Amino acid sequence: MHCIGVPRLQCHAGGVSQVERKSPGLRQTATDRASATAGAPSMRLPHVTFSMPPPAGVGSYRRIKASWHTLHRRLRVDSLVDKHALDTPRMRLRLLHRGSADHGFVYRTLYTCPKVMTTIRPPLTDEAADAAFERICRHNACGLPGHRYWALERRSNGAPIGISGFRRKGDRGEMGILLVADAWRQGFGGETFSALIPHAFDGIGLAHIDVERADDERAAVLWRLLAPYGFHRVPASEPTRVRWTLSHSAWIHRRGGVGIERAVP
């Protein structure tokens, strides 16, 4: 409710400190005004009390702000994890993130295992693997198009059995997969590709998918998994390696011209 002619109240935490008229330069306390208006009809101003918590110190403010930002980042990451989660008959693919101790453990297990890393690179130390995992989690937490890496989890018990993803450069993404030794030769590789390849084109907007590995006996197995999608062989980065590529247009043609409008996260 607006009252014309009523002085503006200047208040502080303890209540009304003084009455300040809107006329420039004219100030009166509540007591002075009462004396000046003696004999006239009185208008008593109500006492105003403000309940305010004691001001927080700088340290408390910073802690509250840091907690809020942490919660905000966590909610954003959870949203991205849910948005990019993929399901197959036996697995659920979820973006690697720091909130899962299992994700960090399976990443370290794979990249420090000599048996898994035989034809890829020398195994990492625990410290190097943990640092690499942190970098990957930062990529996954970014809402802009970029690298994406998933943990491959069994739907039966949620246990991670490997990781897979895309190392992105422009509109191209190099796809890779690593499985723990206990999950080899059980069809999980082909099952992973059946979820990742459509998502690469229709979900994260890639125009080309590349796959490269050492040219050994396992390369033939990988080729059998990739050929049905329309991959074809192209020159590799080194003579001892083999490389395949698949374009979005070729994949659409392979599917009989049926595609989904591509979206960028």
Q: Are 142 and 245 members of one domain?
A: yes
Q: Are 95 and 223 members of one domain?
A: yes
Q: Which amino acid is at 1?
A: M
pLDDT of the residue at 20: 41
Q: Are 117 and 1 members of one domain?
A: no
Strand order in 27-28's β-sheet? Answer: 8-12, 15-20, 27-28
For residue 199, being part of any structural domain is answered with yes
Q: Are 95 and 221 members of one domain?
A: yes
pLDDT of the residue at 122: 93
Q: Are 129 and 99 members of one domain?
A: yes
Interval 129-153 mean pLDDT: 90
Q: Are 147 and 221 members of one domain?
A: yes
* pLDDT for residue 265 is more than 90: no
Structural domains in the chain (count): 2
Q: Are 47 and 81 members of one domain?
A: no
For residue 250, being part of any structural domain is answered with yes
C-alpha torsion angle, residues 178, 183, 185, 191 (rounded to 10): -70
For residue 68, being part of any structural domain is answered with no
For residue 113, being part of any structural domain is answered with yes
Residues 6+ apart with CB under 8 A from 257: none
Residue located via tokens 């395949």: 244
* Mean pLDDT rounded to a whole number for the chain: 76
For residue 218, what are the CA distances in angstroms to 9, 19, 110, 119, 259? Answer: 82, 87, 18, 10, 31
pTM exceeds cut of 0.75 = no
Reduced to 3 states (helix: H, G, I; strand: E, B; else coil), residue 202 is: helix
Query: How many C-alpha atoms does 239 have within 13 Å on its Cβ side?
Result: 0
CA pair distance 35, 53, nearest whole angstrom: 35
Choose the weakest-confidence range: 54-58, 89-93, 220-224, 244-248.
54-58
Q: Are 182 and 86 members of one domain?
A: yes
For residue 263, being part of any structural domain is answered with no
Q: Are 197 and 224 members of one domain?
A: yes
Domain range spanning residue 89? 75-254
* CA nearest neighbour of 107 among 65, 44, 61, 151: 151
Q: Are 164 and 236 members of one domain?
A: yes
* pLDDT for residue 160 is more than 60: yes
Interval 183-187 mean pLDDT: 94
Q: Are 198 and 126 members of one domain?
A: yes
For residue 165, being part of any structural domain is answered with yes
Phi then psi dihedrals of residue 200, to 5 deg? -60, -40
What tens digit of pLDDT does each residue of 48-71 get?
444 445 455 555 555 554 554 444
CATH of the domain at 225: 3.40.630.30
Q: Are 204 and 145 in contact (CB under 8 A)?
A: yes
